[in-house]
Structure formats: structure tokens, C-alpha cells
């Protein structure tokens, strides 16, 4: 019995596009710019976030080309510094941190909990305007001459030495930070107070749990970064003296404050992606998520532990040996909830009826890359090993496995999974699978050589290097061009699908979850009547019984 394919119930007729959707509920530019509908705000985010992704991508494409030769003759050293700084700032503050919460979270969180909207729709719109202001401000800073401090803005380099637009870029970051903070606040209140009748905490989809845990990090970590950056801005603008060593200020204090945000920020980036994967895998394995409660709690485990590991970025910065030992041990602990998730996804796949549509390919890619990124993270948590590979390409490769391999593939999985829900149309099945595979291969080719480079001692953030590293750098650049093709492919099949895609119908993947029980695209008020929940999520094992004649 187990080997037999599950027969789908006979499809009555080709689905048609619904008449009344959130997209045509109101018309005109202002119906978008002044909208309070969480679904429209998600679309408003989708466009600039995608734009920023390609800005950040273009910056690093040039630096990667520069590294084809050991002399790095393509761009001036100064330009090279600006390029990787733009890449880091744009990708982290304006793409990776906001992308899944603001695009997928905004669209799906209210629908998954059976609500009409977020708790504070006006604040949600305000978040978008803050994001746009921050992103615009940072873009102006880049156009007006750029900034060369690296995305970490370490003092005293950022506060005194750098001659470029540090203040402007930081202001952009701070404004975008407030946007994230308000989004997090909105999500927390929404999950607490707007759940549909019968939707108890342990009936929530894991995506909701993950976004909820992420929101806590937004609330508690973003203000610290904002304040640290504001202090640098004040120091630079008013000559006050806060981190300036000449005044007795301590540059290490900045590093502590910076990483107090920026390490949890890694979990801001990865937790929502884990939430997406926890939705996709049960659906395409047609099985209940294995160990639901463990997966839910582990999101919180990661969020909490994430606040107590920040100094592992500073092992060589001159912190006390005992502090380093404690931070190292705490860092190892993060592996526990992360591993719980990976084991549970794998166990969900076990004996599942797996099919390999694009969302599933992205999700499987996520597991592979996240696992590699996580395991190399353990190398870096080890004190002795970190001394050796600190500030080398080993670190670069490690965090790109997590942030690109993890977050970007997770976002892609989510975007492909919910695209029919968001737009009401299906994209090309064949091309999307190709896209997933190209992206995965390109990613591996780009970053695997960087582990070797780093282990052999190539420092990061240098525009030239010794000749023996060239072969690995050329490999990495070649991989990056494949990865670039992988990133452009989704544009080529997702955008045409808006006009030419087949209507998807309410539930093209036969998925469980409240968001699939309404039309695609959903009506303005999400549900025709307020839903009532009677079962836990991911009840895929029930459908087999139902479908048997």
C-alpha cells in the first residue's frame, strides 16, 4: 500500500481567476500608496526588496570579477572597499533582514491565523515608508560617493578615519531598523490577539512560530544597533567623543553593541527561512511535520541563545580569555536547536511521498546548504580554530552558506510556494525547477572554494592576493556567474506568469493551512467568513484515508 501513489481526487474543471481580489478591490496609485491591506503592503515591499537584492548583487559581481587576477586590477582599491561595503550594507539591512518577514510574513501571517489584517495596519504602512526612506537614504549615500567601512562600521575607523558618507549610510540603516522594529511589534500583537477561534498556540503553523520568534529579536536587538549607530553619528557630527580612544573611549564597546544586534540578526535572517521550509517539506512529502512541538520550541531556543553569543565575533579583538571561553561554549549550544530542526525535517521526509516541484527543490537545497553552513559555524565557535581562520574567506564562506544558502533559498522556496496564492497564477513548472538547480549549483561552486581559500589564509576584504590562490578565486568567480544566472531566471518565469500563467485555483499544492482555504488571489478581507480551526496543522496523513475509494 505504501508504495502506491496517492490518487488525487478528480479535478472538476480548470480553475478560473476569482472576480473580486485584493488586487482589484481598489484602483489607482494612491490605493496602493495609502493602502492598509497587509497583502498589498507585502507587494509594496516585494518590489524595492528585489531591487535592493540586485543592487547588492551587482556590487559584489564587480568585486568578484576583480578577484579573477591576483593583482586585482579591475577597480581601484578604494572602489573595491566601497563595493563590498555596499554589498554588505544593502544585502543585510535592506534585503536579508526584511525580506521574509515583510514580504511573506506580511502577506501570510494574518491569513495563516485566520485574521482580516495585522493588529495595526497603519503602523504596517508606516513601516513600509520607513523602509523606503532608509533604503532611499542609503542609496543616495552610495551614489554620493559611497562608504568604505565594511557593513560592520567598526570604530574608530567609522567614527574618525573614513572620509566617505558614513553618517548618511548609518542614518539609512537606523531608519530601516525602526521599520523592522515596528513590523516585529505588529506581528507579536497580531499573533497574540488575532488568532481565529480554535487556533491554539500548538495549532499554529511553524512559519507563524518562526516569525513570532523573529519578531522578539527585532524588538530587543534592533534598538541596540540603532543606538550604537546613533552614537557614532553623534561622535562624527558633533565631535562629542564616545568611542574615541583619544578621549578614553573604548572602540571595543562599539563592537559589543554592534554584535549584540548583528549576531541575533543572523537569526532574524535564518528563522523565517526555517519557518518557510517547515511549511514546504510536509506539503511535498505529504506527511505530518515530524516533532511539531520541538520545531516550534527550537525557534525560540535559537532566538534566546542568539542573544548570548555575540562576542564570538570578537575572539581576537582583545576580550578576556574567560569571556571568550564562555561565549565559545554558548555558541556550541546554538547547534542543538538548529540540529533539532534539521533532524525533524529529515524525519518528515522519511517514507514520505516526495515530489520535486520547485519549492521543494529550494527547500531541499536549503537543508543541504544550511547544514554545511551550520557545521562550519562550529569550526568558528572553536577558539583555537577561530584564531586561525578569523577574518579569512573561511568566515565569508561560512556565513554565505547560512545567509545565501539558507535565507535566500528559503525565501525562494517560500516565494515559489506561495506565488500562486499571491498572484493567483502558476509559473512554468519546468523553468522553475531548472532555476532551483542552477541556483544550487552556482551557489556551491561560488562558496565551496572560499572555504579552501580561507583555510589556506586568504584574508577577506582585500582587493588583491598572492598568486597561488588564483585557481580557487577563478573557480569562485565562475560559480558566481552561474549563481547570477540562477538569480535572473526566476525573474524570467515569475514575471511573465503574471499575465500568461494558468490560474492556480485556491489550493494548487493540495496543502493544509488556512491560507489555502480561500481564493487565490485572496479577497480584500481574506476569508469569506471567519474561519474556525478544529485540527492541528500539517494533517497530510489524513488525506490518504480520505482519497481511498
Partner 1 sequence: MNPEDSLLTDELREEFEQTMLASERLEAQFHDIEQQHQAASLGMWAFLATEVMFFGTLFLGVYVYRHAYPDAFEKASERLNWLIGGINTVVLLVSSLTVVLAVHYASLGRRKPLVVFLTLTMLLGLCFLSLKGLEYYIDYLENLIPGWKFEPQEWVQAGLRPDQVPNVRLFFSFYWIMTSLHALHVTIGVGAMAVLMVLAWRGHFSPAYYIPVDVTALYWHFVDIVWIFLLPTLYLMGTHHWGK
If binding is defined by CB under 8 A, does position 221 make contact with partner 1? Answer: yes
Q: CA 236 → CA 14, 171, 346, distances in Å? A: 63, 12, 51
If binding is defined by CB under 8 A, does position 318 make contact with partner 1? Answer: no
Cα angle: 53, vertex 56, 62; to 5 degrees: 135
Stretch that binds partner 1, among 87-95, 132-140, 178-186, 352-360 (CB under 8 A): 178-186
Q: Which is nearer to partner 1, 376 or 518 (CB)?
A: 518
If binding is defined by CB under 8 A, does position 238 make contact with partner 1? Answer: yes
Stretch that binds partner 1, among 74-82, 238-246, 326-334, 448-456 (CB under 8 A): 238-246
Nearest alpha carbon to residue 209 among 88, 76, 301: 301
Q: How far apart are CA 416 and CA 141, in angstroms?
A: 33
Stretch that binds partner 1, among 46-54, 111-119, 390-398, 512-520 (CB under 8 A): 111-119
Q: Which is nearer to partner 1, 232 or 412 (CB)?
A: 232
Q: CA 334 → CA 96, 299, 303, 339, distances in Å? A: 20, 11, 9, 9
Query: Which residue in the set 257, 274, 409, 438 belongs to the binding site for partner 1 (CB under 8 A)?
Result: 257
Query: Which residue in the set 249, 301, 373, 486 belongs to the binding site for partner 1 (CB under 8 A)?
Result: 249
Nearest alpha carbon to residue 121 among 183, 73, 178: 183
Residues 6+ apart with CB under 8 A from 405: 365, 366, 368, 369, 370, 372, 373, 443, 447
Cell numbers placing 476: 569562485
Orientation of helix 409-423 relative to helix 429-455, angle to 10°: 160
If binding is defined by CB under 8 A, does position 117 make contact with partner 1? Answer: yes
If binding is defined by CB under 8 A, does position 241 make contact with partner 1? Answer: yes
Q: How far apart are CA 455 and CA 394, in angstroms?
A: 6
If binding is defined by CB under 8 A, does position 217 make contact with partner 1? Answer: no
If binding is defined by CB under 8 A, does position 130 make contact with partner 1? Answer: no
Site for partner 1 in 520-539 (CB under 8 A): 525
Cell numbers placing 471: 585557481
Query: Which residue in the set 6, 144, 247, 542 belongs to the binding site for partner 1 (CB under 8 A)?
Result: 247
If binding is defined by CB under 8 A, does position 515 make contact with partner 1? Answer: no
Nearest alpha carbon to residue 105 among 170, 165, 186: 186
CA 105 centroid distance within chain: 11
If binding is defined by CB under 8 A, does position 17 make contact with partner 1? Answer: no
Query: Which residue in the set 67, 142, 167, 181 belongs to the binding site for partner 1 (CB under 8 A)?
Result: 181
- Report the nearest approach of partner 1 to the CB of residue 186 (Å): 8
Cell numbers placing 474: 577563478
Site residues, partner 1 (CB under 8 A): 110, 115-121, 181, 185-186, 188-189, 192-194, 219-224, 226-228, 231, 234-235, 238-242, 246-250, 253, 257, 525
Amino acid at each position: 500500500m505504501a508504495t502506491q501513489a496517492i490518487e488525487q481526487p478528480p479535478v472538476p474543471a480548470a480553475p478560473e481567476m476569482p472576480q473580486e481580489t485584493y488586487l482589484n478591490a481598489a484602483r489607482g496609485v494612491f490605493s496602493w500608496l495609502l493602502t492598509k491591506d497587509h497583502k498589498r503592503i507585502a507587494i509594496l515591499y516585494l518590489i524595492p526588496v528585489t531591487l535592493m537584492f540586485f543592487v547588492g548583487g551587482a556590487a559584489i559581481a564587480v568585486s568578484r570579477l576583480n578577484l579573477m587576477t591576483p593583482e586585482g586590477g579591475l577597480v581601484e582599491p578604494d572602489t573595491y572597499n566601497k563595493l563590498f561595503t555596499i554589498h554588505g550594507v544593502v544585502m543585510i539591512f535592506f534585503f536579508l533582514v526584511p525580506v521574509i518577514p515583510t514580504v511573506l510574513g506580511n502577506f501570510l501571517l494574518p491569513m495563516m491565523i485566520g485574521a482580516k489584517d495585522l493588529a495595526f495596519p497603519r503602523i504596517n504602512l508606516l513601516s513600509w515608508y520607513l523602509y523606503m526612506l532608509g533604503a532611499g537614504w542609503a542609496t543616495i549615500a552610495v551614489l554620493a560617493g559611497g562608504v568604505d567601512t565594511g557593513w560592520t562600521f567598526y570604530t574608530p575607523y567609522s567614527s574618525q578615519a573614513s572620509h566617505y558618507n558614513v553618517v548618511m549610510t548609518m542614518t539609512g540603516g537606523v531608519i530601516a531598523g525602526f521599520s523592522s522594529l515596528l513590523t516585529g511589534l505588529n506581528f507579536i500583537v497580531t499573533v497574540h490577539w488575532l488568532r481565529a477561534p480554535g487556533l491554539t498556540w500548538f495549532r499554529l503553523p511553524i512559519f507563524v512560530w518562526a516569525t513570532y520568534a523573529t519578531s522578539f529579536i527585532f524588538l530587543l536587538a534592533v534598538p541596540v544597533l540603532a543606538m550604537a549607530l546613533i552614537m557614532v553619528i553623534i561622535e562624527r557630527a558633533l565631535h562629542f567623543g564616545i568611542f574615541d580612544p583619544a578621549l578614553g573611549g573604548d572602540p571595543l564597546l562599539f563592537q559589543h553593541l554592534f554584535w549584540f544586534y548583528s549576531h541575533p540578526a543572523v537569526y532574524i535572517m535564518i528563522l523565517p527561512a526555517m519557518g518557510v521550509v517547515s511549511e514546504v517539506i510536509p506539503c511535498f512529502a505529504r506527511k505530518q511535520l515530524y516533532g511539531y512541538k520541538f520545531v516550534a520550541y527550537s525557534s525560540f531556543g535559537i532566538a534566546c541563545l542568539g542573544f548570548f553569543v555575540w562576542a564570538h565575533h570578537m575572539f581576537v579583538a582583545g576580550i578576556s580569555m574567560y569571556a571568550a571561553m564562555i561565549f565559545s561554549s554558548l555558541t556550541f549550544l546554538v547547534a542543538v536547536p538548529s540540529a533539532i530542526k534539521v533532524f525533524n525535517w529529515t524525519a518528515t521526509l522519511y517514507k514520505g511521498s516526495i515530489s520535486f516541484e520547485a519549492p521543494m527543490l529550494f527547500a531541499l537545497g536549503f537543508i543541504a546548504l544550511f547544514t554545511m553552513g551550520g557545521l562550519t559555524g562550529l569550526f568558528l565557535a572553536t577558539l583555537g580554530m577561530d584564531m586561525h581562520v578569523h577574518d579569512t574567506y573561511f568566515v565569508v564562506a561560512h556565513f554565505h552558506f547560512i545567509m545565501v544558502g539558507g535565507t535566500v533559498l528559503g525565501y525562494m522556496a517560500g516565494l515559489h510556494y506561495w506565488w500562486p496564492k499571491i498572484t493567483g497564477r502558476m509559473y512554468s513548472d519546468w523553468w522553475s525547477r531548472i532555476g532551483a538547480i542552477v541556483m544550487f549549483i552556482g551557489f556551491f561552486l561560488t562558496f565551496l572554494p572560499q572555504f579552501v581559500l580561507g583555510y589556506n589564509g586568504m584574508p577577506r576584504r582585500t582587493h588583491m592576493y598572492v598568486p597561488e590562490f588564483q585557481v580557487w578565486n577563478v573557480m569562485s568567480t565562475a560559480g558566481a556567474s552561474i549563481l547570477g544566472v540562477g538569480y535572473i531566471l526566476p525573474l524570467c518565469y515569475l514575471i511573465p506568469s503574471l499575465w500568461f500563467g494558468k490560474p492556480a485555483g485556491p489550493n494548487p499544492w493540495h496543502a493544509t493551512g488556512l491560507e489555502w482555504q480561500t481564493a487565490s488571489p485572496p479577497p480584500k478581507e481574506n476569508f469569506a467568513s471567519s474561519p474556525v480551526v478544529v485540527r492541528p496543522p500539517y494533517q497530510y496523513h489524513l488525506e490518504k484515508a480520505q482519497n481511498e475509494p
